[in-house]
């Protein structure tokens, strides 16, 4: 085709593997039917198309050894449920990667605080992997993960590996049940337990918006510069190429200017509720 395929046309990708993470959440490994997976930066997302159902934005949670993307999807509606139901061998559509990812180079020489709530750990996973690959370039690396219940914690094996690789990994849950002996409550409370030098720290935060607002405000209250706190916004997205306006937030298009935004730019915009 002259000029290449239309930007809205998904490429066919085959499901190579499917790992159930929780009752409503699966991680798919997706490989292009033809050619190689384009490179991605931590924090970027693709548009995943479930044939005959629809298309949603999904963060890239990693690159598999086979070269494919891993993407973690929670079944909350028609499209996400259809994607969660895909099996190895099935074909889905993929556009992207899109968006501005985490500013990994900005973390060089600084302490790093990563704060995740629930599925927010998915776009942070490739970031933590990148930071730990270049461990000597950074100061202390702390990862705080919040989960509704111990059994709902995402990527427990990664969290354990990151701790072995030198990160200070802390987990808190909302509902501890009978067996949990760890911290209970908001992720912000764990900021007391980790060690970081606020004026020499950058932070990466992803999760439900109330959690991101609280975590970012608390980091800034403790002296982290607002320009060194990054958040990933999951606003309604349709075209992902700034044409439809669904994800417009004040002067920004989340699909292109985000989803990762610095807190000094995002703070006021977070007050804008999604319709
Ligand atoms: C940049 C970006 C990255 C994203 N990354 C991921 C990801 O890695 N994994 C993932 O599963 N989703 C991710 N999402 C959300 C995803 O794009 C869809 O919005 C979500 O899966 C719902 O789509 P749906 O069509 O299945 O449900 P819809 O039909 O849109 O919604 C069904 C119901 O679920 C509610 N709902 C919608 N979204 C959510 C949500 N995120 N959590 C809880 N309830 C919701 C709606 O209010 C509605 O009541 C991301 C979104 C963006 C913009």
Per-residue pLDDT tens digits for 171-184: 999 998 888 888 99
Atom from ligand 1 closest to the CA of residue 122? 8
139 and 185 both lie in a single domain:
yes
Q: Are residues 125 and 90 in the same domain?
A: no
Q: Are residues 161 and 233 in the same domain?
A: yes
Residue with the nearest Cα to atom 31 of ligand 1?
Answer: 77
**Maximal C-alpha separation, the chain:** 62
Which CATH number fits the domain that encloses residue 64? 2.40.30.10
Residues 117 and 66 in one domain: no
**Eight-state DSSP code of residue 261:** E
- Give 4's DSSP letter: -
One domain for residues 109 and 65: no
User: Of 98, 115, 150, which closes a domain?
Assistant: 98
Atom of ligand 1 nearest to the CA of 236: 53
Ligand 1 is surrounded, with C-beta below 6 A, by 45, 56-59, 72-74, 76-80, 119, 122, 234-235, 237, 259
Residues 114-141: pLDDT tens digits? Answer: 999 999 999 999 999 999 999 888 999 9
**How remote is the CA of residue 64 from the centroid of ligand 1, in Å?**
23
Asked if the structure places residue 6 within a domain, the reply is no
- For residue 76, report the distance from its CA to the centre of ligand 1, in Å: 7
Domain boundary among 98, 115, 138: 98
| Residue 111 counted as domain residue | yes
Whether the pTM exceeds 0.85: the reply is yes
Question: 92 in a domain, yes or no?
Answer: yes
Within this chain, do residues 29 and 115 fall inside the same structural domain, yes or no? no
- List phi, psi (to 5°) of 224: -75, 135
Is 4 a member of any domain? no
Indicate which atom in ligand 1 lies nearest the CA of residue 81: 26
Residue 183 forms part of a structural domain: yes
The boundaries of the domain holding residue 76 are 11-98
Residues 58 and 112 in one domain: no
> Could you tell me if residue 5 is inside a domain?
no
Is the pLDDT score of 267 beyond 80?
Answer: no
d(CA 70, CA 176): 29
Q: How far apart are CA 107 and CA 138, in angstroms?
A: 7
DSSP state of 259: B
What is the domain count for the chain? 2
What does the pLDDT look like over 30-47, one tens digit per residue? 999 999 999 999 999 999
Residue 215 domain flag: yes
| Atom 4 of ligand 1, residue of closest alpha carbon | 58
Q: Where are the alpha helices (DSSP H) in 37-89?
A: 78-84
DSSP string covering 179-206: T--S-BS-GGGGGGTS---GGGEEEEEE
Domain harbouring 116, CATH code: 3.40.50.80
């Amino acid at each position: 085709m002259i000029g290449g395929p239309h930007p809205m046309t998904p490429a066919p990708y085959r499901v190579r593997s499917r790992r159930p993470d929780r009752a409503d959440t699966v991680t798919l490994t997706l490989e292009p039917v033809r050619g190689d997976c384009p490179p991605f930066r931590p924090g970027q997302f693709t548009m995943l198309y479930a044939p005959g159902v629809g298309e949603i934005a999904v963060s890239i949670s990693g690159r598999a050894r086979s070269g494919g993307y891993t993407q973690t999807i929670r079944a909350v509606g028609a499209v996400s449920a259809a994607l969660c139901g895909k099996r190895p061998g099935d074909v889905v559509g993929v556009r992207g990667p899109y968006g501005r990812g985490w500013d990994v180079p900005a973390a060089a020489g600084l302490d790093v605080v990563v704060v995740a709530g629930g599925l927010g750990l998915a776009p942070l996973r490739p970031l933590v992997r990148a930071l730990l690959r270049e461990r000597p370039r950074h100061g202390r690396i702390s990862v705080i993960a919040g989960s509704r219940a111990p059994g709902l914690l995402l990527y427990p094996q990664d969290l354990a590996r990151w701790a072995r690789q030198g990160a200070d990994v802390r987990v808190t849950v909302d509902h501890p049940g009978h067996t949990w002996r760890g911290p209970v409550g908001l992720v912000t409370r764990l900021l007391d337990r980790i060690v970081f030098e606020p004026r020499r720290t950058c932070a990466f935060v992803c999760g439900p918006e109330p959690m991101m607002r609280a975590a970012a405000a608390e980091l800034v209250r403790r002296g982290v510069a607002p320009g060194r706190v990054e958040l990933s916004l999951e606003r309604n997205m349709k075209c992902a190429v700034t044409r439809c306006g669904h994800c417009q937030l004040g002067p920004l298009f989340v699909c292109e200017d985000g989803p990762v935004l610095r807190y000094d730019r995002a703070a006021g915009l977070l007050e804008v509720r999604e319709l």
